[in-house]
Structure 1
Amino acid sequence: MKKYLILTVTAGNGHNSAAKAVKEGLEKRGAEVKIVDLLHEYCDDKMFIWIQETGYGIACQHFPHLYNAFFRHYQKADPKKYYKSPVQPGVFKLYDKLLKLINEYQPDAIYASHFLPCVMITNLRKLYPIPAKVYSFVFDYAVCPFWEAATGIDYLLVPNESYVPTMVSKGFKREQIMPYGLTVNEKFSKKIDKEEARAKLGLKDGIFTVLVMFGGGFWSGNYKIVKNLVKHIKGRSLQIIVANGKDEKSKKRIDKLKPSDSIKIINYGFANNVDILMSAADAIIGKAGGVSVTESLNKYLPMICCKKLPEQEAVNVKMLVREGAARQYKNDKMLIEIMNELLNNPRQLVEMRENVARIRRPNATSNLVKDMLADETDYSQVKDVDYAEVNAQIKRMLKKGKGEPLQKKQKAKNTINKK
C-alpha cells in the first residue's frame, strides 16, 4: 500500500479543510495517509503558535488596515532574499523533527496545505535529499506573501493559467506550476439537484433561498445579516439557511427572531452537510476565503460578500466581481439593495451562475490525487542523518544566504487546465 504524508498548520479553518480533502481523496482510492499539524505536533514556541492561530484572526477582524499593509508589503519581497523572510526564524527548531518524520515514514508523496512546511522543505533540500515529490497550493485567488521562500517544492497548484507569471516572478519554474484550481473536498464537485436538496432540508422549491455563512472563528456576522433580511425584505417570499459554525451566540440570537410568514429560517450551529446547504441555495452571503470561494464555485453558487475583508479575501472578491460571479456590499443598506435586485430580476442570478460555471475548476482535488497516486518513491539512497545537527546547519545556511536545492530536475507534469 502506498503511503502519503500531509503537512498542515492551523491558521484559520481553510488549511486543515484542504488537508482533510486530499486525505479523503487518497484514502477513498486505497492509500494510507498521515496528517501532521507541524506546530501542534512539534513546536514549543507558544507565542509563534498564538500568532498563527489566534493573532491572525484578531489582526484580520480588529486591525484590518494594519494587517493589509503588512500583507501588501511582504508581497513585494525580493525572491533573492528569501533567507530574510520573517517566517524563517519561527521554525528553526522544527527542521530536525520534520526531516526525521519524512525519513522514518517514507511517504510516496507529500502534500502541504500551508506555506510553512513548503518553506522548511525548501531549506532542507539544500542540505539533505528528500526524494518524495512535494505538492502544495496557493490557498487563495490572491498570491500571498512568503512563497518566494518555498520554491523548493516540486509542484504548486494555482487557480488557473493567469497566475503562472506571478509565481514565476516569485522564483518558481514553469514546470512546477499546475493550474488545476484549488483543492477542496470532492463532495462539493458532485451535483445534487436543487429540488432534492431542498426536500432534505424541509424547504420549498421555487422560492429564492439564500445561505448565510458568516459565523465561526473570529468572524461573527450572521445575526446582523439575518436580522436585516428579516426586517427589510418586504412582500417577497424568502428562505434563509444559516450555518453559524462555532458562533453559538449568533445561533441563539437567530433562534429568537420572529420573521414574517413569507420568510422561513433554518438555523444550524456547526453544519456537516454544507454541500447540501449550498446545493439548496440560490446565493451565499459569507466570507471569501480561498476554500469557501472554491466550494461555492464548485457548487455553481454566486456569492454576496462584504467589503471589509483581509487583503487576500478582498482580492478573492475582486476576482469574483470582475468575472461577474459575485456582488459586493459596503453596508447593510447596500446588502438589502442587492438582495432586492436579485429577487426582482431573476435573470441577474442566471447570468451570475453562468459566470460561475465559466471560471470554476471543480476537479482540482481529483487531478492532484491522481498525480500523487502515480508517484512511487525510493528511499534506499537516503543516508543516515545526525538529526542533532540539522537545525544548526539550516540556521547557518540561511545566515550565509546560500544553498541550492539537492533535488533532481523533474519532468513537467501535464499542466493543461483540467476542468
Structure 2
Amino acid sequence: MKPNSKIMIIYASFGDGHIKAARALLESFTALGYNNIQLIDLLELTHPRINSASRWLYLKSSSYAPKGYGWFYTLTNSTKQSRVSNHIYHSFGKKKMLEEWNSEKPELIIHTFPYLTADELKFQSGQGVPTLTVITDYVLHSRWLHENTSHYCVGSDTIKAQMLAAGVPEHKISVTGIPVHSKFFDKEDKAAICDIWGFEPDRSRVLLMAGAYGVQRSLKLMISTVREVTTSDLIVVCGKNKKLRKRLEREYYNEKRIHVIGYTDKVHELMTISDCLISKAGGITLTEALVKNLPTIVFQPIPGQEEGNAQFLSGLGVLGIANDKYSLTRELYSALNLNRNRNMKQASASVCFKQSSMRIVEEALKLTGLVEKGSEWTVNERKAAQIHA
C-alpha cells in the first residue's frame, strides 16, 4: 500500500468512544506514513436529521429509561430476524456511501461503529474493497457482524469465542485489543501535570467522568458519597454538557475538594494524577483506564453493551460495579487500596495490549495484500506489546 493510498474510517457520534477509536487509528496510520485518511461520520453525512434524532434518543433513553434501552438492545441482538433487520439497518446511507466510494476510490474501509454500509454494498454488488470492523466493546452484539466483512479486530479471546459460535470463520478474527491513543501509554510526570492543572501533587484524587456529553444518572449521590467516605479531592468532568457544568460550579463553589471541568482532550493527564475512576462503562474509556492501571468503578451500568462491558471486566477483577451508596462506598474503599492497584496489571493482561491501534493497522494493511516489507511485528515484539505485571 502506498503512502497516498486512500483509507476511509467510518465512525458515529454516539458518545465519544467511536470517534476516539477512529482518531487512534488515524494516528497510527499517520505514524507509518499514510497521509490520505478520511474520517467519516456516515449517518451525519447522509441523514443529519435522523442522526440528531437518534443521538438525542440514545442519550435520553440510556439516561432516563435505561431498562427500555436495554430491552431494545436485547431485542435487536441474536434473534432469528436479526440478519434481515441488520441488512435494512446497514442500508442507511448506502447511496451516499456509493458516491464516496466511486469518487474517492478507497483501498481500505474501516468501521469503528456497527453501521456497516460498506459491507452491505459489497453484499449487494458482489464486489468491493477490503473492509475491517473494529469492535469497541467487550461484549458482542449481532449488529457488529456482516457476512461480507473482510476481517474483525476484537478486544478479547472471549469476544472471539462468541464470534466463532455465531459462525464467523476463525481466520477473519484477530485479538488485537481495543484501540487507544498512544498518549495513554506515555509515562507522564504526575507533579508536572498537577502544576499545569493547579492541583496539589500530594493529594489523593477521584476522577468522575459524567460521560462524553455530561450524561450520568445519580450524579449527586456519587459526589456526596465521595465527599463523605473519602478524604480525596474529586474531579468532575462534565463533558460537553455546559448546563451541567455551570450548575455544579454554582453548587460547589465553596468546596475546595471538588473541581468541576467541562470537555477536555487531556483525559490521559487526569487519569495519570488520579487514584480512582468512576465512569460509564464505554469500551474505550474502560480500556484507557486499564492502560493507565487506574482502579475503576462503574456506577449503575446501563443495560446493554455498557452492562456487558462492566460485567466482563468485573469478572476479570479489574473494576468494581456499584448500584447504590452502600456498594459505591465499598468499591471506593477497595479502589483506593494500594493492593487493588498492584493486582490490576496481572488481571488485565488478557485484554490490555500496548499499541493496540498499531496492531489493528497491521491487520488492516494485510487485507490489502500489500503490506510493506518489515512492517509486520516479530513474535517477540508481539509478546512485548502485551502488558504484564
- TM-score if structure 2 supplies the norm length? 0.84
Q: Shift of the alpha carbon at 1:341?
A: 4.5
Indicate if the aligned counterparts of 1:198 and 1:280 stay in contact, CA closer than 8 A: yes
CA distance, structure 2, for counterparts of residue 65 and residue 299 of structure 1:
31
Q: Which residue of 2 aligns with 1:89?
A: 88
Q: Shift of the alpha carbon at 1:99?
A: 2.5
Change (3 A) 1:250 1:215: farther
Change (3 A) 1:162 1:253: same
Q: How many corresponding residue pairs? A: 370
Q: Which residue of 2 aligns with 1:171?
A: 167
Structure of greater Rg: 1
Indicate if the aligned counterparts of 1:142 and 1:316 stay in contact, CA closer than 8 A: yes
Residues 328-376 of structure 1: CA deviation (Å, up to 9, x unaligned): 1111343234324545x43233334553456412322111223434565
SS at match of 2:194: helix
- Find 2:77's aligned residue among 75, 78, 86: 75
CA distance, structure 2, for counterparts of residue 342 and residue 376 of structure 1:
44
Provide the aligned C-alpha RMSD in A: 2.8
Change (3 A) 1:342 1:146: closer
CA distance, structure 1, for counterparts of residue 351 and residue 119 of structure 2:
32
Indicate if the aligned counterparts of 1:7 and 1:37 stay in contact, CA closer than 8 A: yes
Indicate if the aligned counterparts of 2:293 and 2:344 stay in contact, CA closer than 8 A: no
Q: Which residue of 2 aligns with 1:113?
A: 112
Q: Which residue of 2 aligns with 1:268?
A: 261
Q: Shift of the alpha carbon at 1:223?
A: 5.0
- Find 2:40's aligned residue among 36, 41, 55: 36
Further displaced range: 105-114 or 285-294? 105-114
Aligned: 1:26 with 2:25: no
Q: Which residue of 2 aligns with 1:140?
A: 137
Q: Which residue of 1 aligns with 2:347?
A: 355
CA distance, structure 1, for counterparts of residue 6 and residue 21 of structure 2:
18
Q: Which residue of 1 aligns with 2:292?
A: 299
Aligned: 1:326 with 2:323: no
Q: Shift of the alpha carbon at 1:247?
A: 2.0
CA distance, structure 2, for counterparts of residue 228 and residue 311 of structure 1:
27
Q: Shift of the alpha carbon at 1:75?
A: 2.3
CA distance, structure 2, for counterparts of residue 270 and residue 128 of structure 1:
43
Residues 102-160 of structure 1: CA deviation (Å, up to 9, x unaligned): 2331223211111212x541452442411x32111222111123234x13111111112
Q: Which residue of 2 aligns with 1:407?
A: none
Further displaced range: 23-32 or 287-296? 23-32
- Find 1:14's aligned residue among 17, 20, 25: 17
SS at match of 1:129: coil
Q: Which residue of 2 aligns with 1:244?
A: 238
Change (3 A) 1:93 1:266: closer
SS at match of 2:76: helix
Paired AA for residue 228 in structure 1 = S
Q: Which residues in structure 2 correspond to 1:191-340 (within 5 Å)?
A: 191-217=187-213, 219-221=215-217, 224-225=220-221, 227-229=223-225, 231-233=227-229, 236=231, 238-256=232-250, 257=252, 264-340=257-333
Residues 174-207 of structure 1: CA deviation (Å, up to 9, x unaligned): 0110100112322222232434433433333343
Change (3 A) 1:207 1:302: same
CA distance, structure 1, for counterparts of residue 335 and residue 212 of structure 2:
27
Indicate if the aligned counterparts of 1:2 and 1:108 stay in contact, CA closer than 8 A: yes
Paired AA for residue 54 in structure 1 = W
- TM-score if structure 1 supplies the norm length? 0.79
Indicate if the aligned counterparts of 1:180 and 1:363 stay in contact, CA closer than 8 A: no
| Structure 1, unpaired ranges of 5+ | 379-413
CA distance, structure 2, for counterparts of residue 93 and residue 7 of structure 1:
13
Greater RCO, 1 or 2 (C-alpha within 8 Å, sep 6+):
1
CA distance, structure 1, for counterparts of residue 219 and residue 160 of structure 2:
40
| Structure 2, unpaired ranges of 5+ | 371-378
CA distance, structure 2, for counterparts of residue 59 and residue 334 of structure 1:
24
SS at match of 1:146: helix
Q: Which residue of 2 aligns with 1:181?
A: 177
Indicate if the aligned counterparts of 1:212 and 1:222 stay in contact, CA closer than 8 A: no
Change (3 A) 1:121 1:166: same
Further displaced range: 346-355 or 30-39? 346-355
Residues 24-44 of structure 1: CA deviation (Å, up to 9, x unaligned): 222233221111222222237
CA distance, structure 2, for counterparts of residue 337 and residue 160 of structure 1:
28
SS at match of 1:107: coil
Q: Which residue of 1 aligns with 2:360?
A: 368
Change (3 A) 1:214 1:93: closer
Indicate if the aligned counterparts of 1:108 and 1:377 stay in contact, CA closer than 8 A: no
